[in-house]
């Protein structure tokens, strides 16, 4: 069974928000991943049984807010795979979704 897991850091005063959705078809996988991306989740992972097969991490650009601070721009997701160029980061992100 394919499971889509999500995680969002809600700051220092609230617990991390986590979600878990099961998908039986490719249509369900795409639906849950797109829904999580439109909600602005920080980490989205696809698991086959308990093995992580792919992760997207939200790495948005930042821009000046005009008052000396910074604000987040549009969401920008970067995909990581277990056999990709940064296996240590992939392992850290997988552990964040467990």
Burial class (CB in 10 A: 0-12, 13-18, 19+), 26: exposed
Which residues are CB-neighbours of 96 under 8 A, at least 6 positions away?
7, 43
pLDDT confidence tier of residue 98, bands split at 50, 70 and 90: confident
- Residue 69 has a pLDDT of 85
Question: To 5 degrees, how large is the angle CA 83–CA 44–CA 88?
Answer: 35
pLDDT digits (tens, 9 = 90+) for 77-92: 999 998 888 888 888 8
Boundaries of every domain in the chain: 2-97
């Amino acid at each position: 069974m394919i499971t889509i897991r999500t995680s969002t850091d809600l700051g220092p005063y609230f617990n991390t928000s986590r979600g878990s959705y099961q998908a039986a078809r490719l249509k369900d996988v795409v639906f849950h991943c797109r829904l999580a991306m439109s909600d602005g989740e920080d980490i989205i992972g696809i698991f086959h049984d308990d093995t992580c097969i792919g992760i997207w991490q939200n790495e948005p650009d930042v821009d000046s807010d005009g008052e000396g601070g910074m604000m987040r721009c549009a969401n920008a997701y970067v995909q990581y795979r277990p056999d990709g160029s940064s296996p240590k980061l992939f392992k850290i992100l997988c552990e964040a979704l467990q």
